[in-house]
A and B are shown apart, each in its own frame.
Chain A
Amino acid sequence: MAVGLGVLGVIFIVLAVLYALGVLQLFTSGPGNHYKHAILLVVLAVASFVAASFARPKTA
């Protein structure tokens, strides 16, 4: 579970970079750099990493 969430976080980071560079145009209003989308994906990445941290097995 924790590993999956970590991987998801990495995917979000990659997508954020692609939106910021203007490579990815999915769900956007048109061509260009989409910083709002990038920031959202960074937030989702952070949430995924936090969830991964919560899901990892704890040592006593």
Chain B
Amino acid sequence: MSLWQALFMGLLQGASELFPVSSLGHAVLVPSLLRWSFKQTDPSFVPFLVLLHLGTATALLVIYRHEWVAIIRGFFTAAVRGEMRTDSERLAMLLLVGTIPAATLGVFLENRIKSLFTSPYEAAAFLVVNGVLMLGFEQLRRRTERRAAVASESRDEQESHFAQAERISFRAAALVGACQALAFFPGISRSGITIGGGLIAGLRHQEAARFSFLLATPVILGAGVVEVPQLFANGVPVGEYLAAAVLSGVAAYASARFLLRYFRSGRLDPYGWYCVAAGLASLALLRFSL
């Protein structure tokens, strides 16, 4: 992999990790469509992905640094006291409950699922599925809005009827966490599926995105840190990979800022349509070798 390819992949991963469009799907599809010769089964590709993910996780930690301090403090306070009294304490416990199913399924299923679906055709097909899921989540939300008779209100007013992340139930937090396992299929977006789960659980769009990003941080960070020793294997161009990771972090930071602002009143539909269109176009390009 050349330096420019590494930087491009860093930018792509950082930008697509938090957007509900599947970074893994794009990481499989784009090099195939560009006919780049590097193989993702190459042993040095894993350390590369590790660094890119650490870049993304760092960006999320920077954005939510104050919140994480409160969450960690709240976690220990509530754990020792055996009782939740503040929003930070409840959020800390919700994140713990949401992380357990994701981490369990990740440890036992991630490599098995990823090794089953390595072809760009499958990534393109799952990207279409991801798009349909995003559109389905929004249809369910619109139905809820109609039932609550808020369909005629402005978007800001509609959103005000829904809850903050701290108010999600523990069962819903566990389900949203478990849904992250679907992102092991290349083309299915982790942030998309968790934001959608948050919407079904009755969260505002912006709060669903916030909960999704907070939930993703320990999983992405944990998975990355565990793989760090692989960076010191012979033949790994750490300098190039670090540059790509920095770019990935910057892109992730900008993406998260944009998305949190967008979801104040925006919906998942544009990303759903994008995934359907990109998936179908990729299938056509791959099929007819255009």
Chain A residues in the interface with B (C-beta under 8 A) = 27, 29, 35-37, 39-40, 43-44, 46-47, 49-50, 53-56, 58
Docked pose: A46 CA to B100 CA in angstroms: 11
Contact call A58/B103, Cβ cutoff below 8 A: no
* Minimum C-beta distance from B114 to chain A (A): 12
The answer on a CB contact under 8 Å between B83 and A47 is no
- Asked whether any CB of chain A lies closer than 8 Å to the CB of B104, the reply is yes
Chain B interface residue number, banded: 20 to 34
Partner of A58, one of B82, B99, B108: B82
Main secondary structure of the interface of B (DSSP, over half): helix
Return 26 A-B CB contacts under 8 Å, by A number: A27-B108, A35-B226, A36-B106, A36-B226, A39-B103, A39-B222, A39-B226, A40-B103, A40-B104, A40-B107, A43-B99, A43-B100, A44-B100, A44-B104, A46-B96, A47-B96, A47-B97, A47-B100, A50-B78, A50-B93, A50-B96, A53-B80, A53-B81, A53-B82, A56-B82, A58-B82
Q: Digitize B130-143: 1 where CB-to-A-CB distance is under 8 Å, 0 elsewhere.
A: 00000000000000
A27: chain B residues at CB < 8 Å are 108
| Chain A residues whose C-beta falls within 8 Å of the C-beta of B104 in the assembled complex | 40, 44
